[in-house]
Structure 1
Amino acid sequence: MAKIYFDAATKGNPGMSACGIVIVEEAQRYTDGQILGEMDNHSAEWEALIYALQQAAQLQVVNALIYTDSQLIEDAVNRNYVKNRRFKPYLVQFNELADTFNLCFVKWVPRGQNKEANQLAQQTLYQAIKQ
């Protein structure tokens, strides 16, 4: 089962945002940072989740255990419910992508256990801002 870590970074709220993802499966390791554009921090977390799943699908991951330090994302996905209606399209997109995997779980972890994805997101954001 692949372990997928993701995180987002935003400068300002809303502001320029980026994400970092780490996908580990057996002896393979994939890392990536992606500029997301201008958005609020919650939207950036959702965008990071979607990007991580898209990358995992391209890598032909079959079973995914997704780790996030966002309680908001974990709660929404596991309850299949969002309080704020503007996040509903993200939840729908997550469910569509999750259905392409045999197994797909989302689990909350403390920020300290998501350091690599966080650092990738921060580095990608820094590179985008300094240009």
Structure 2
Amino acid sequence: MPAEIYVDGASAGNPGPSGIGIFIKHDGKTESFSIPIGDHSNQEAEFLALIEGMKLCAARGFESVSFRTDSDIVERAAELEAVKNKA
């Protein structure tokens, strides 16, 4: 079953209190999640949104998933399956 996943992360400060948002569309249904994640940088929050989105997809047994993000670094890392500097 294919799904579209929209993810975003944000922080108030760098680092600072952060949260992630995940929106899932599948089979004519939608689900949305807003999750506080503690103190992180904005980039960390963006990556954590993608990771949590992947976990939600795996738990639902989706066979095909397309992700949408407004973060260039997350998009490039996901497409290339690599990051410039590993933490």
Same-fold status (TM-score > 0.5): yes
How far does the alpha carbon of each residue in 1:15-48 deviate from its partner, in whole angstroms, 9 at most, with x for none?
Answer: 0110000000121111111111111111111111
Structure number with bigger Rg: 1
**Structure 2 residue matching 1:24: 3-state secondary structure:** strand
Distance 2:16 2:52 in 1: 18
Aligned pairs for 1:1-131 (under 5 A) are 1-86=2-87
Post-superposition offset of 1:62? 1.5
Percent identity, aligned pairs only, is 34
Distance 2:64 2:46 in 1: 21
CA RMSD of aligned residues (A): 1.0
Paired letter, 1:58: A
How far does the alpha carbon of each residue in 1:34-70 deviate from its partner, in whole angstroms, 9 at most, with x for none?
Answer: 1111111111111110111111122221210011111
Q: Give the corresponding residue for 1:129.
A: none
Higher strand fraction: Structure 1 or Structure 2?
Answer: 2
Distance 2:34 2:5 in 1: 13
Distance 2:26 2:4 in 1: 6
TM norm structure 1 = 0.63
The gaps in structure 1 that reach 5 residues or longer are 87-131
Distance 2:13 2:6 in 1: 23
Paired letter, 1:21: I
Higher helix fraction: Structure 1 or Structure 2?
Answer: 1
**Structure 2 residue matching 1:85: 3-state secondary structure:** coil
The gaps in structure 2 that reach 5 residues or longer are none
